[in-house]
Amino acid sequence: MQIEFQIDTLVAIMRTKLFVLLLILLAQQAADHVWTVSELFTRNIGTNAQQRTQFPPHRIIGNLYYVGTESLSTFVVDTPEGAILIDTTYEANVPVIQDSMSKLGLKFSNIKIIVGSHAHGDHQEADAMVAEMTGAKAMAMAEDIPDLQRMRTPSGKARPMYQVLHDGDEVKLGGMTLVAHLTPGHTHGCTTWTMKVQENGETHNVVIIGSMGVNANTRLYANGALTPLGEEYARGFKAMHALSGDVPLGSHPAMHGLAEKYKKLSGSGLAGFSGALLVPNPYIDPTGYLKELNIEETAYNIELESQKKAAATPTSPAPVAR
């Protein structure tokens, strides 16, 4: 009986170890997944419902807050002199931003500056509406302003008069400094923002990735060379590699694992806590920025190589009519 018990126990232990090993291998496989540009687009954009469904508003780190939806990021930097809003998203989401700020004890009317990640409607459609409602000043990268000015809005509001920003410009308010970095490709003026925040007496470097995703039907290579847009992407990735940070965020929540990190934060019971966290903050992720950059750059390179291969493949001539 004693021998049988030991054998049964040994088998149970082996099964447990095999199960754990299987989980580890599956996790590793997921981590090593090579994303295509189309997969990244689907990952980032989400469904129509996710673009408009409020994600639980919460403090990310220091005086930086999340007030966006499930698949479209909106951030608030709160300062003694007012707030900076990053990405207004759709006009339909303005009530979401208002409600989220209210739940965090932040006043929507205190928004003094509006900036954005890039000139696409899902990120900056509501600039004019928020500027009109709050009296805030809108700012944007010079290369994106023509597209922003052409952007149509459901309300029909005229686009705001943007204060022009250039690569490396600083946006300052209430002791906070946000630096605008031109990371072109996804749009001509796609902007990655960096800033320093304080948490438990330590300084952390925040990087908010604008986007380096390649949209469908984007021509990167033609006539034996990079297209002008392909060259923009090359410059964008070079600029991205010159940046670093231990709090990586993105214009889409999937770019920084918002759902998973918030789950850890809410599991601590401090998701709505406005003071300094006394537990490890899941948003402090020193390797996260490079991981996301590698994902996006790899997808770009795969698409580029695909286009190069297609360009090098001779096409069959059309059949001659007889």
Task: Specify if 30 maps to a domain.
Answer: no
Give the model's pLDDT for residue 192. 98
Task: Specify if 279 maps to a domain.
Answer: yes
Kind plus residue range of the DSSP H or E element containing 290:
helix 288-312
Range of the domain at 90: 35-311
Task: Specify if 15 maps to a domain.
Answer: no
Q: Which amino acid does the sequence have at 310?
A: A
Q: What is the CATH number of the domain that holds 185?
A: 3.60.15.10
Whole-model pTM: value is: 0.85
Q: How far apart are CA 80 and CA 246, in angstroms?
A: 25
Give the model's pLDDT for residue 266. 79
pLDDT band for position 269 (50/70/90)? low
Task: Specify if 212 maps to a domain.
Answer: yes
DSSP E strands in 3-144: the ranges are 58-61, 64-66, 75-79, 82-86, 111-115, 137-141
Task: Specify if 179 maps to a domain.
Answer: yes
**Residue 297: which of 206, 211, 180, 218 has the closest Cα?**
211
Tens of pLDDT, residues 197-245: 999 999 999 999 999 999 888 999 999 999 999 999 999 999 999 999 9
**Residue 148: which of 177, 171, 123, 183 has the closest Cα?**
123
Task: Specify if 134 maps to a domain.
Answer: yes
Tens of pLDDT, residues 71-115: 999 999 999 999 999 999 999 999 999 999 999 999 999 999 999
Q: Which strands make up the sheet holding 82-86, listed edge to edge?
A: 58-61, 64-66, 75-79, 82-86, 111-115, 137-141, 163-165
Task: Specify if 225 maps to a domain.
Answer: yes
Task: Specify if 322 maps to a domain.
Answer: no
**β-bridge mates for residue 205, sequence order:** 196
**Residue 75: which of 12, 8, 123, 146 has the closest Cα?**
123
Give backbone dihedrals phi and psi of 263, rounded to 5 degrees, phi first. -60, -40
CA dist list (Å): 126 to 23, 122, 123, 192, 288:
43, 9, 8, 19, 29
How many domains does the chain divide into? 1
Residue 60 three-state SS: strand
Residue 303 three-state SS: helix
Q: How far apart are CA 150 and CA 192, in angstroms?
A: 22
Residue 173 three-state SS: strand
Tens of pLDDT, residues 257-266: 999 999 998 7
The 3-state DSSP composition of the chain as helix, strand, coil percent (nearest 5) reads 40, 20, 35
